[in-house]
Structures are given as C-alpha cells and as structure tokens.
Amino acid sequence: MKPTREPLGRSGDVRAGKAFPPAGVIDDPVAAAVQGELSAQPPLVVAPVSDAEVFTPPRRSLIGIWRRALSLVALVAVWALVALLFNDETVLPGPVDVFSTLWQNMQTSDFYFHMYKTVLRVVIGMLIAVFGGLVIGLIMGLSKWGEEILDSWVLVAFTIPSVVYGILAILWFGLNDFAAIVAISVTAIPAVAINIWQGVKAIDVSLVHMGKAFHFSRRSILRKVVVPQVIPYILAALRYALGSAWKIATVVELIGLSSGVGFMLHYWFGLFNMTQVLAWTVAFTIVLLLIEFVFLKPIESWLTRWRPANMQK
Amino acid sequence: MAEPYLVIDNIKKEFPRRTEAPLRVIDGLDVGVEKGALLSILGPSGCGKSTLLNIINGLDDVTSGRIVINGHEVSVKSRSKLKIGVVFQDSRLLPWRTVKDNVRLPLDELGIDRAEADRRVTYYLNLVGLGDFGDYFPLRLSGGMQQRVSLARGLAIEPDLLLADEPFSALDEITARKLRQEFISIWRATGRTVIFVTHNIREAVFLSTRMLVITPRPARTHLDLDIDVPYPRTPEDDRLFEIEKRVTRDFIAMEEASV
C-alpha cells in the first residue's frame, strides 16, 4: 500500500472551508441527521480530500503495439535466414514463397470454404467447451461434494490424448462436422474446467464475507462477488480453448474429414508440397491472431480496466 | 423507564465440541445505550470479538441472553427487520466496481429504487469527502480514501446500527488520526448509533460516548465507562488523557491477571 500524503494546505482547500459545519449547529446529532437526510439542500461535506491522495495510472502508449509488431517481424526474419541456410524449398521454404502461395490461395473460393469449415468447427467447439468447462469448474470450486465426484473424472479426461477423442468421435458419429465439434469440445472441456476450478478457489474470501455481513442473497454473492473474480480465469480458459480447439480440429480433419484446413494440410503433405503446408498453417495462425487482437484483447482490457496499468512492470 | 435503543442483555455463547466440554466464548455481556451513542468495545485479541460481531449482525445466534436493537430482538431469523451497516478493518470494496457502484451495492440488495439510491450514493460520498471520486475504481485511491468509501457504503443503507470493526487499525497513524476526527464529524452529522470495536485504548477513549472493556476469553464485562467529555474533542484533552491512563492501568492489570 502506498503511503498517504497529507494535503499540504488544508485551509487552502475550497471544499474544506464551507465543509466543516460550525460546531454549534449540530448539537443534537439526531436532529441534524433528519435535517441532513430529508432536506434537499446540498449535503454537507465533513471530510474533504485532496487530489494528492489519488493514484493516477500512466496512460497506455502505442509503444506496446510497436514492440509486438517488431517481435513478429523478427520472427519472420529468423525464418527467412534459416530458409536461406537450407536453400531447399522441399525442406523449408522461405517466407516470401509461403506468403505468395498464400496470396494465390486467397484468390480461390476453395480457400474460403476450407477456412470457413475449420473456423466454424473451432468456434462452436470452443464455445461448448467454455460453457461446459465453466459449469463443471464452478461446481467443483463451490461444492466439496462436486469436487469429490468430478475431480478424478476431469483429471482422467485431461490425460487422454486428443487423437483418441478424434478417433472415437469419427467412429461413433461418422465423417462429419458433428464428430469434429464433439472431439474439440470434449478435449477442451477438462482444461477449461481445471482453470475455472482453480480460479474459484483463488477468490478473495474476505469479499464474500463482506457480502454475507451485508446479508446479500446467495445468488447475489455468486453473481456480484464470485463470478467477477473468476473472469480473468475464464479469459485464460477461453484462450487456451481457442488454441487447443484449433489443434484438435486439424487432427480430426487430417484423420477423417474431407474439408477444412487439416484436410488441406493432409492433401499437400501427400504431394510433399512444403510451401502449401506452411501457407495453410500461416493462414490459420493469422486468423487466430486476428481473433485474439480483434476480440479477446479488447474484451479483456475492458473487463480488467479497473486494474492500475502499471502493475505489470 | 423505557428500554434503551440498543440492549445487550446478559448474552452467552458456547460452541459445542466433540470430545470436550463446550467452548464458552462469551460469558455474560451487558450494556445498554441510547440512540445516537457511540459505544466502543475494547478487548484483548482473541476475546471473542468476531463472534460478538457476528451475533450482533445476526449471522450467529446467542446461546442465552438477548440483543435488542430499536425494539427488535436480533437473531439469524429476524435479521431482515434490521439494517446493519458494517465497516471492516480492510475496506473490502469490489475492485472491479467504481466507487459509486460499491456504495450502491447494498442499496440494490435492499431493493431501494434508482432515484433514491442515486441520491444516497451522492449524499454519502459527499459526506465522506469523495463526491468527486464516484467514477474512480477503488485501486486508484489511497488506503484512507478506500476506507472512506467503505464508511459511505456502511452509512448509505441508513442503518439502525453501524458496526465498525477496527476500521482504522490497518492505516498509518497520521491517516488514522485524520479519519478519526472525520469519523466523529460524520457520526454527529448522521446521528447513527455506532458500535466501534478496537484494540486501541486511546482511540476508544477519544471517539466514544460509552466504553465497554471486555476480558480475555470467555468475554465478560470488565469495565463499563461513560465518557462524558463534550464534542468536538481534541486528542490533547487532559480529561481524555486521564481516562486513557486509568483504562490502560486497568487493562494491563486485567491482562496480567489472566495469564
């Protein structure tokens, strides 16, 4: 906690001058209260505060954006260097080849069809995973009983490799979108649930006691005190779910489906076309980055706007 | 004579234990104060203070005896008839809500309509001197300011009783000193009845109209003192100092006797 600075010239504070009621006016506190509460006159200020006590966070600058862009450029530069070293496009094609292939792909309608298919599966699977994981995680975090019943299930489900879910989903539901979505959500649910579960355990109990001391209903405590504290964990889970959903989608598309980015990767891998494999990978990476920077980051910074910005040094 | 506004009538509290005899935490506390009083309760640490606060706030029931506030007997069941505001040692504000929304929180819970809630939020934030800071988030305020918000929150429900649980003990002495002065002004301006729990003898003497010193566990009344010094008081007042000296001597004797 930062030490409080005393205002220097208290008499200089305009509010202080008219603020303190003359000592003789409120001899009877009860009468004064009634007067203060019922009359429409501007309320009296008895405890003036100086601006010196307020902590003003530094403004976020554009420097962060520049740093991010620079770091991406550096990554591409390293790639270009290593590709130059190999000098063989069947081993590692350079960024120029890959991006020009990507550009050509983007002129075809096939590109958007496959991209759309994968994005659809990923987004639906992810949303189901976040919802399912949130419910399971809340139950595990809030109830001893729920934790005892569910924790071993979640841990078992978490250890099973996602390929297994992919194979099972395809065997059970056939070669279709439904199988892919089931595989994605089942794989991501345990990780989301574990995140939320830990998040609920880490909440500030003193705030819950505050709610109880003011006799809030259980519902209000859950909605107004518990869930807002879990939001950072929900965001982390969302991010994790997005990343893993895309990986599983690719695997499922690769082993069974005839559409989507995974299918295209499989196709070009069969033709030993490394440039196309990387072009598709880069394409999807860009889509994920767009989702991150267009949706997740703005939502996150809005939801956590109450945090002073300089906590991260 | 009519019953006082706040009555604590021979309350006892025991917690059952599995193998041993029940643990007696409170063993007969008695006090009665009029409306608008500032009753401080002073006790050594571990004197059953939080149990006592829970009972007064209707979160726990007494084993025997009764507490009556404004004609209503307090119990876990009947708690909704009374409004009790609480100020904690730490401010316990929700950091993701603005100062205004924090003060409004218990008002929403009581189902107070929007216009009235707005009026009260403005009124009480002005009262604690934070009228200009309603749209700030709590983490941008200093510890002393956060504690003022917490006080505004406790007062905004216009409570039958304000429970202050060592509200200044986590602050640095200079801030605490300033807030004590302001606490008195605010208390006198609102006319609320206050129970102020503290370990700080000087603070208790300086603030209160009535002072209850309780023994180490099980808590009993050790000393029940009227502090008949008119307000506004100054910390340097000799009368207060005499009382403080006396209570301190007494307190030390009590502590030594209990070891």
Chains A, B: CB contacts under 8 A, how many?
A: 148
Q: Are residues A124 and A242 in the same domain?
A: yes
Residue A310 in contact with partner chain B when CB distance is under 8 A: no
- Give me the residue from A55, A213, A220 closest to B140, CB to CB: A55
Q: Are residues A42 and A173 in the same domain?
A: no
Q: Are strands B64-69 and B210-214 parallel, antiparallel or unpaired?
A: unpaired
Residue A302 in contact with partner chain B when CB distance is under 8 A: no
Running DSSP on this structure, what letter comes out for residue B78? G
pLDDT class of A24 with cuts at 50, 70, 90: very low
Res A49 pLDDT > 70: no
Q: Do B133 and A49 touch (CB under 8 A)?
A: yes
Residue A60 in contact with partner chain B when CB distance is under 8 A: no
Q: Is A89 contained in some domain?
A: no
Measured between CA atoms, how close is B257 to chain A, in angstroms?
A: 34
Measure the CA–CA gap between B47 and B194, rounded to whole angstroms: 20
Quick one: which of A185, A197, A187 has its CA closest to A127? A185
Among the residue ranges A19-33, A61-75, B11-25, the one predicted with the least confidence is A19-33
User: Nearest-CA residue of chain A relative to B90?
Assistant: A206
- Interface subset of B 110-169, CB within 8 angstroms of A: 122-124, 126-131, 133, 136-145, 148, 157-158
Q: What is the pLDDT of residues A117-140, one digit of tens each?
A: 999 999 999 999 989 998 899 899
Q: Do B109 and A34 touch (CB under 8 A)?
A: no
Can you give the CATH number for the domain in which A204 is found? Answer: 1.10.3720.10
Quick one: which of B223, B216, B198 has its CA closest to B42? B198
Q: Are residues A48 and A125 in the same domain?
A: no
Res A60 pLDDT > 60: no
Q: Is A73 contained in some domain?
A: no
Strand partners of residue B214: B221
Measure the CA–CA gap between A219 and B139, rounded to whole angstroms: 26
Among the residue ranges A15-19, A263-267, B33-37, B127-131, the one predicted with the least confidence is A15-19
Measure the CA–CA gap between A149 and A264, rounded to whole angstroms: 42
Q: Are residues A49 and A113 in the same domain?
A: no
Task: Please state the domain count of chain A.
Answer: 2
Q: Do B105 and A207 touch (CB under 8 A)?
A: no
Q: Are residues A303 and A154 in the same domain?
A: yes
Q: Do B79 and A29 touch (CB under 8 A)?
A: no
Q: Are residues A39 and A125 in the same domain?
A: no
Q: Is A60 contained in some domain?
A: no
Question: Tell me, what's the pLDDT at B194?
Answer: 93
pLDDT class of B104 with cuts at 50, 70, 90: very high
Q: Which pair of tokens denotes residue B151? A: 């006080």
Q: Which of B54, B81, B185, B234 to mutate to test the interface with A (most CBs of A within 10 A)?
A: B185
- Give me the residue from B129, B140, B174 closest to A57, CB to CB: B140
Average pLDDT, chain B: 88
Measured between CA atoms, how close is B178 to chain A, in angstroms?
A: 9
Q: What is the pLDDT of residues A147-202, one digit of tens each?
A: 999 989 999 999 998 889 989 999 999 888 899 999 999 999 998 999 999 888 88
- Interface subset of A 14-33, CB within 8 angstroms of B: 15, 19-21, 23, 26, 28-33
Q: Which residue bears the tokens 């023994």?
A: B215
A214 contact residues in B (CB cutoff 8 A) = 85-86, 105-106, 109, 157
Phi, psi for residue A40 in degrees, rounded to 5: -90, 0
pLDDT class of B209 with cuts at 50, 70, 90: very high
Q: Is A4 contained in some domain?
A: no
Q: Is A90 contained in some domain?
A: no
Q: What is the pLDDT of residues B16-67, one digit of tens each?
A: 888 888 888 888 888 888 888 899 998 887 777 888 888 998 888 888 888 8
Q: Is A115 contained in some domain?
A: yes
Q: Is A1 contained in some domain?
A: no
Q: Do B189 and A21 touch (CB under 8 A)?
A: yes
Question: Tell me, what's the pLDDT at B24?
Answer: 85
pLDDT class of A9 with cuts at 50, 70, 90: very low
Please report the ipTM that was assigned to this predicted complex: 0.88
Q: Count, in order, helices (H) and strands (E) of chain A.
A: 14, 0
Res A5 pLDDT > 70: no
- Interface subset of A 239-278, CB within 8 angstroms of B: none
Residue A208 in contact with partner chain B when CB distance is under 8 A: no
Q: Are residues A135 and A198 in the same domain?
A: yes
Question: Tell me, what's the pLDDT at B88?
Answer: 92
Question: Tell me, what's the pLDDT at A45?
Answer: 54
- How would you write A151-206 as a 3-class SS string? HHHHHHHHHCCHHHHHHHHHHHHCCCHHHHHHHHHHHHHHHHHHHHHHHHHCCCHH
Measure the CA–CA gap between B106 and A212, rounded to whole angstroms: 11
Q: Are residues A240 and A140 in the same domain?
A: yes
Res A213 pLDDT > 50: yes
What average pLDDT does range A221-245 have in this prediction?
87
Q: Count, in order, helices (H) and strands (E) of chain B.
A: 7, 10
Q: Do A46 and B232 touch (CB under 8 A)?
A: no
For A217, the domain range is 106-311
Res A36 pLDDT > 80: no
Measured between CA atoms, how close is A147 to chain B, in angstroms?
A: 26
A26 contact residues in B (CB cutoff 8 A) = 188-189
What domains can be seen in chain B, in order of their start residue? 1-82+160-172+186-258 (3.40.50.300), 90-159 (no CATH)
Measured between CA atoms, how close is B24 to chain A, in angstroms?
A: 23
Contacts 24+ apart (CB under 8 A), A249-254: A249/A118, A249/A121, A249/A122, A249/A125, A249/A180, A249/A184, A250/A118, A251/A162, A251/A163, A251/A166, A252/A121, A252/A166, A252/A169, A252/A170, A252/A179, A252/A180, A252/A183, A252/A184, A253/A118, A253/A121, A253/A180
Q: Is A58 contained in some domain?
A: no
- Amino acid present at A154: V
What percent of chain B has a predicted confidence (pLDDT) above 90? 32
On whether the CB atoms of residues A249 and A124 are closer than 8 A, the answer is no
Quick one: which of B77, B72, B26 has its CA closest to B48? B26
